[in-house]
Amino acid sequence: QVHVIESGGGLVQAGGSLTLSCVASGRTPPSYAMGWFRQAPGKERELVATISWSGQVKNYGDSLKGRSTISRTSRANTTNLEMTDLKPEDTAVYYCAIDEDSSRTMARDVGSPDYWGQGTQVTVVS
C-alpha cells in the first residue's frame, strides 16, 4: 500500500506565503515523479507543479507560475511547494500525487498520477 500525506495547509492573508509538504511512503514504486494539483469548489482539478524523480525537471501550471517553487528532498520521497503572493483565488484543496510515469506526462494529464493524497485546504483571505 502506498501512502501520500500532505501537510502545511491553512489560512493565510492575501499577499502572504505558505509552504506545503508531501511525503510518500509504503510500497512506493522504485522511482516516481511527484506533483501538486489543486481543486477549488465547482472547478476542475488543475496542475500546480510537478517534479521528476531526480528533482532536475520541473513543470508549472499557469495557476501559480512565478509564485510557486517545487522542490524535492535528497531522500526523494518528500516534495515541498513554496507559494508566495497568495491571492483569494488560490483558495482550494491542494493535492499531492505520485506517478510512475514522467513528470512531463504528469503535468499534461491530471488523470496520470497513480496515487493521491487526501488533500490539504488552503484558504486565502483578503
Q: What does the pLDDT read at residue 75?
A: 78
Q: What is the pLDDT of residues 63-100, one digit of tens each?
A: 899 999 999 987 789 999 999 999 999 999 999 999 99
Q: What does the pLDDT read at residue 66?
A: 94
Determine what percent of the chain is predicted with pLDDT higher than 90: 94
Q: What is the pLDDT of residues 6-39, one digit of tens each?
A: 999 999 999 999 999 999 999 999 999 999 999 9
Q: What is the pLDDT of residues 30-62, one digit of tens each?
A: 999 999 999 999 999 999 999 999 999 999 999
* 20 burial type by CB count under 10 A (0-12 exposed, 13-18 middle, 19+ buried): buried
The CA distance from 107 to 119, in Å, is 18
Q: What does the pLDDT read at residue 93?
A: 98
The answer to whether 17 and 82 are in contact (CB under 8 A) is yes
Nearest to residue 38, comparing CAs of 21, 17, 63?
63
